Amino acid sequence: MEYNYALKIRQEWGDKPCDHPRLEKVYYAGAFLTNYACVQCGAEFTIYEKLEMDEARKNP
């Protein structure tokens, strides 16, 4: 997901709660920024945070 698109989603989403159903890599001008963004709310996460979320989903 392009950085500016994630920013737009985040601004439109506001402060509503989100369970972050899917994360995508964030790119800026074609370069991977080492972050991930939620496709629903636009929140950004580090690689470590993404790994923690993935692990938590495996072991509820």
Cβ atoms of 18 and 29 within 8 Å: the answer is no
50 three-state secondary structure = helix
Is residue 47 a contact partner of residue 24, using CB atoms and an 8 Å limit? no
pLDDT digits over 4-40, tens only? 999 999 999 999 999 999 999 999 988 888 899 999 9
- The domain of 25 spans 3-58
Per-residue confidence (pLDDT) for residue 29, from 0 to 100: 86
Number of domains present in the structure of the chain? 1
User: In angstroms, rounded to a whole number, what is the distance separating the alpha carbons of residues 33 and 39?
Assistant: 16
In the chain, count of helices (H) and strands (E)?
Answer: 2, 3
Q: What is the mean pLDDT of residues 38-54?
A: 95
3-state class of 16 per DSSP? coil
